[in-house]
Structure 1
Amino acid sequence: MSSVLKRIKIVADREGMSVSAFEATIGASKGVFTRALANGTDIQSKWLISLVEKYPQYSSEWLLKGEGDMLRPISIANEEEEKYLTPELEGIHNTIIYTLKQVVASQNVTIKSQEKTIVSLERLLSSLEQEIKSLRNK
């Protein structure tokens, strides 16, 4: 198996999909990578170009030559540039997102409870206003 194909398999695994599903995401016919992996044959360069275009967070130098980091570094120099997370930062971001979702869910429960309390208080207020009104009219 070629080293490039091994790295393609790593990318597919990291993206959480089978090689067949990964082929589909870059527009390759079913079996382009799986046959090459099974037979130890090369793939056309157009599939590598498509992979790099579809998944720009992966370093093309790493993909082609196995050199450098797998992921491109985060660039904060220019706001228009795309930003990519290292696995460590991605884990931190996922933890923050999970925590914030829990806070939002908790706040939604509080809001629903407060809405019920408000409705009950409005009913009580209306009832008391009616009672006062009827007492004044006697």
Structure 2
Amino acid sequence: MSTTLKRIKEYIDFKGIRISTFEKSIGISNGSFGGQLKKNKTIGVDKLESILRLYPDLSAEWVLTGNGTMLKDTESYEQTIESLRKVIRAQEKTIAVLERFIPVKQ
């Protein structure tokens, strides 16, 4: 059975984050996470809250229960990104048109 710490470790590995970087980001001392993992310990609520705040794509349900998927609904993120790209392309076209009206200095 997978524990909360093992699921967090799975996420860290998936994202390619070094454990020392992860520990520093959530405010725990170097080696703490690895030690807790090896001893099959638990993680405090304050640290769990930090993790979920700092890594917003991580599903809290998955971390706590193992149910669902590791990452939050990435499809909606991808749709948002694509929508923003469309807006940027439209703005670039508008800028190109407006730049034609700028007098050229000689």
TM-score (norm 1): 0.50
Cα distance in 1 for partners of 2:15, 2:28 equals: 16
| CA radius of gyration, larger in | 1
Q: Which has the higher contact order (CA 8 A, sep 6+)?
A: 2
Q: Are the counterparts in 2 of residues 2 and 41 from structure 1 also a CA contact under 8 Å?
A: no
1:70-113 Cα offsets, whole Å, 9 max, x none, are 1111464xxxxxx2x5xxxxxxxxxxxxxxxxxxxxxxxxxxxx
1:13 to 2:6 alignment:
no
Q: Are the counterparts in 1 of residues 52 and 58 from structure 2 also a CA contact under 8 Å?
A: yes
1:57 to 2:57 alignment:
yes
Q: Are the counterparts in 2 of residues 61 and 68 from structure 1 also a CA contact under 8 Å?
A: yes
Q: Are the counterparts in 1 of residues 2 and 66 from structure 2 also a CA contact under 8 Å?
A: no
Q: Among all aligned residue pairs of Structure 1 and Structure 2, give the percentage whose two residues are the same amino acid.
A: 40
Gaps of 5+ in 2: 79-106
Q: Are the counterparts in 2 of residues 2 and 40 from structure 1 also a CA contact under 8 Å?
A: no
- 1:7 partner letter: R
Aligned residues: 79
The aligned residue for residue 90 of structure 1 is: none
SS, match of residue 52 in structure 1: helix
From the superposition, tell whether residues 41 and 2 of structure 1 become closer, same or farther in structure 2 (CA, over 3 Å).
Answer: farther
TM-score (norm 2): 0.64
What's the offset of the Cα at 1:2?
A: 5.9
- 2:43 partner letter: I
Cα distance in 1 for partners of 2:17, 2:58 equals: 16
Cα distance in 1 for partners of 2:75, 2:2 equals: 31
- 2:69 partner letter: D
Cα distance in 1 for partners of 2:4, 2:50 equals: 14
- 1:48 partner letter: L
What's the offset of the Cα at 1:18?
A: 2.5
